[in-house]
């Protein structure tokens, strides 16, 4: 089907769909104020009454709007929100809350002031890569135990000098700061040497560029472009898993750059070896350098992020007060990812500025009831296995593997016990996640630990400690 640009009619259909998907309250607050202006060259433009609404819709709903527009046949790549000449931009190929650079025709300001030295360094927008978010710097990255290794590795790479580990592979769950760290590396490298040719892009964008080059018979240019950069950064590499030709091209680009001693930085949602449908030769290349993971946030890190954001938002909303205990409450209750945490805080500030009151505990519970409900702690089997392995200083592969040596088998049984008591997973499911063991083995393990808990104080203490840390 040949898609057309957006019209009043398609916008009407999308509004209906949004009403269904985000609920009446959110719809009235965020979508009703949007005034559809026009749609040209795949860019749909809206007037918004305030910067805040534009920014909020861009961060939280632009992806959904674009998706709904596609589903009703509107050929829209990007939505743009304008207020008095400023605009918020979201691109279907760019992550939400990334911004379009000053070099772009849709240039816009972001609410947080950017560092002048870094801003100047963006002039050439890398080599056809995505635009870097000016907020994602090392200065704004809060370091805690769960991310200190990844942060140190990123810092080390950003310092430049001889390439010591190639690639740097950063991995971790959703919203834990992979993109933030990659942008921070790029900013610092650019700052150090403005002439460096740095390409940052998502694996999805790499694929689109590759397909476009194929279609337009520009493969030579494509190869030259990517093989002549000084630093290549590819975000969310898992996206190319299962996409054979893109993987092939990625593999050759990767090798060409490594041969030239050019730094490569890659991110993924899991360790290279665990990416399904990724060619073995790519997995093994990805493991050749330094592989570091960002662990799920802990309470202190979440509190640190919240405190930093409060400082930032206070500039935006001067005079707003936040009651004692609110940040601690949020850090305790919202234990998913940092993006959710940031969104929650931003929502509170918006609400408090609308009603002109301090952010109290009552307002927090009221305004964030949906987020708080959704964040009710769900402990995963993987998390338990990881924590128990760390606690007993054994490898995760040993925990899941076949060895029956007591020093491994006992922690394994403790992990099985915790899986049974802290998750809703069935015994066969737990068995599968422990290297395909039978459910009777799990049952036996759980029973054994139940007995030992009573007799062995050390085991009881260990279990209690692990339980508390998992539930934190």
Ligand X SMILES: Nc1ncnc2c1ncn2[C@@H]1O[C@H](COP(=O)(O)OP(=O)(O)OP(=O)(O)O)[C@@H](O)[C@H]1O
Residue 293 sits in the site that holds ligand X (CB under 6 A) = no
Whether residue 177 is annotated as binding a ligand: the answer is: yes
CA distance 32 to 420: 47
Count CA atoms closer than 13 A to 293's CA, side-chain side.
Answer: 13
Q: Does 136 bind ligand X (CB under 6 A)?
A: yes
Q: How far is the CB of 239 from ligand X (least distance, A)?
A: 10
| Piece in contact with ligand X (CB under 6 A), picked from 176-184, 207-215, 285-293, 387-395 | 176-184
Cα–Cα distance measured from residue 460 to residue 357, given in angstroms and rounded to the nearest whole number: 48
Contact call for residue 339 and ligand X (CB under 6 A): yes
Query: Which of these ranges, 17-25, 174-182, 226-234, 350-358, lies near ligand X under the rule CB under 6 A?
Result: 174-182
Buried b or exposed e, range 168-194, using 16+ CB within 10 angstroms = bbbbbbebbbbbbbbbbbbbbbbbeee
Among 36, 141, 206, 210, binds ligand X (CB under 6 A): 141
Q: Spell out where 154-303 has E strands.
A: 168-172, 198-202, 231-235, 263-268, 290-294
Mask of contacts with ligand X, 294-313, x by CB under 6 A?
-----------x--------
Q: Binding residue for ligand X (CB under 6 A) from 88, 180, 347, 410?
A: 180
Segment near ligand X (CB under 6 A); pick from 60-68, 82-90, 168-176, 247-255: 168-176
Q: Given candidates 178, 386, 420, 437, which one binds ligand X under the rule CB under 6 A? A: 178
Among 91, 204, 249, 342, binds ligand X (CB under 6 A): 342
Select from 175, 289, 411, 445 the one that contacts ligand X (CB under 6 A): 175
Closest listed residue to residue 51, CA positions, set 350, 376, 279, 312: 350
Note whether 254 binds ligand X by CB under 6 A: no
How many residues bind ligand X (CB under 6 A)? The answer is 19
How far apart, in whole angstroms, are the C-alpha atoms of residue 47 and residue 33?
A: 8
The conformation of residue 283, written as its DSSP 8-state character, comes to: H
Q: Which is nearer to ligand X, 45 or 178 (CB)?
A: 178
- Exactly one of 34, 76, 83, 142 binds ligand X (CB under 6 A); which one? 142
Is residue 176 part of the contact set for ligand X (CB under 6 A)? yes
Consecutive H or E run containing 90: strand 86-91
Question: Which is closer to ligand X, CB of 185 or CB of 459?
Answer: 185
223 carries a ligand binding annotation? no
Length of the chain: 472
DSSP line for 216-233? TT-HHHHHHHHHT-SEEE
Output DSSP code: residue 112.
S
Q: Which stretch binds ligand X (CB under 6 A): 106-114, 186-194, 338-346, 375-383?
A: 338-346
The per-type count for the chain, helices as H runs and strands as E runs, is 20, 9
Instruction: Specify the stretch interacting with ligand X by CB under 6 A; choose among 32-40, 335-343, 348-356, 426-434.
Output: 335-343
Rounded to an integer, what distance in angstroms lies between the CA atom of residue 365 and that of residue 107?
37
Q: State the pairing for strand pair 43-47/78-83.
A: parallel
Cβ nearer to ligand X, comparing 175 with 431: 175
- The C-alpha atoms of residue 390 and residue 401 are separated, in whole angstroms, by 16
By CB under 6 A, tell whether 465 contacts ligand X: no
Contacts of ligand X in 259-288 (CB under 6 A): 269
- Reading the block at residue 130, the tokens are 């995505």
Please indicate if the annotation marks 175 as binding a ligand. yes
- Structure-derived torsion over alpha carbons of residues 396, 401, 406, 407, reported in degrees to the nearest 10: -20
The residue (of 82 and 183) whose beta carbon lies closer to ligand X is: 183
Binding to ligand X by residue 240, rule CB under 6 A? no
Residue numbering of the annotated binding site for ATP = 175, 177-179
Which residues contact ligand X (rule: CB under 6 A)? 136, 140-142, 147, 172, 174-180, 236, 269, 305, 338-339, 342
Residue numbering of the annotated binding site = 175, 177-179
């Amino acid at each position: 089907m040949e898609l057309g640009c957006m019209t009043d009619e398609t916008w009407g259909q999308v509004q209906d769909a949004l009403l269904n998907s985000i609920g009446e309250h959110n719809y009235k607050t965020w979508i009703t104020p949007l005034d559809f202006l026009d749609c040209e060259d795949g860019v749909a433009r809206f007037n918004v009454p305030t910067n805040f609404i534009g920014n909020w819709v861009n961060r939280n709903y632009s992806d959904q709007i674009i998706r709904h527009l596609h589903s009703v046949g509107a050929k829209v790549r990007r939505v743009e929100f304008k207020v008095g000449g400023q605009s918020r931009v979201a691109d279907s190929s760019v992550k939400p809350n990334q911004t379009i650079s000053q070099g772009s025709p849709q240039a816009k300001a972001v609410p947080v002031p950017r560092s002048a030295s870094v801003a100047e360094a963006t002039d050439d927008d890398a080599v056809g890569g995505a635009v870097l978010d000016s907020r994602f710097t090392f200065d704004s990255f809060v370091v805690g135990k769960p991310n200190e290794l990844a942060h140190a590795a990123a810092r080390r790479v950003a310092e430049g000098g001889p390439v010591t580990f190639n690639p740097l592979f950063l991995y971790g769950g959703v919203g834990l700061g992979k993109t933030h760290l990659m942008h921070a590396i790029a900013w610092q490298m650019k700052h150090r040497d403005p002439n460096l040719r740095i390409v940052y892009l998502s694996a999805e964008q790499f694929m689109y560029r590759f397909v476009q080059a194929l279609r337009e018979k520009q493969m030579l240019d494509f190869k030259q472009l990517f093989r002549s950069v000084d630093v290549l950064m590819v975000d969310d590499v898992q996206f190319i898993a299962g996409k054979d030709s893109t993987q092939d091209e990625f593999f050759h680009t990767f090798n060409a750059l490594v041969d030239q001693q050019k730094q490569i930085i890659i991110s993924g949602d899991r360790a290279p070896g665990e990416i399904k449908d990724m060619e073995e030769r790519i997995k093994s290349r990805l493991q050749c350098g330094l592989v570091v993971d960002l662990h799920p946030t802990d309470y202190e890190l979440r509190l640190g992020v919240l405190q930093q954001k409060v400082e930032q938002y206070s500039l935006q909303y001067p005079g707003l007060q936040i009651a004692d205990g609110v940040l601690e409450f949020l850090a305790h209750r919202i234990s998913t990812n940092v993006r959710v945490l940031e969104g929650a805080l931003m929502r509170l500030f918006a609400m408090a500025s609308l009603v002109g009151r301090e952010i109290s505990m009552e307002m927090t519970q009221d305004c964030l009831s949906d987020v708080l409900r959704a964040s009710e702690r769900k402990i995963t089997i993987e998390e338990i296995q990881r924590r128990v392995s760390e606690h007993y200083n054994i490898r995760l592969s040993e925990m899941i593997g076949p060895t029956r040596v007591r020093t491994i088998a006992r922690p394994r049984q403790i992990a099985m016990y915790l899986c049974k008591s802290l998750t809703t997973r069935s015994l066969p499911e737990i068995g599968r996640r422990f290297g395909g063991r039978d459910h009777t083995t799990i049952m036996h393990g759980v029973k054994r630990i139940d007995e030992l808990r009573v007799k062995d104080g050390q085991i009881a203490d260990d279990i209690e400690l692990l339980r508390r840390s998992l539930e934190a």
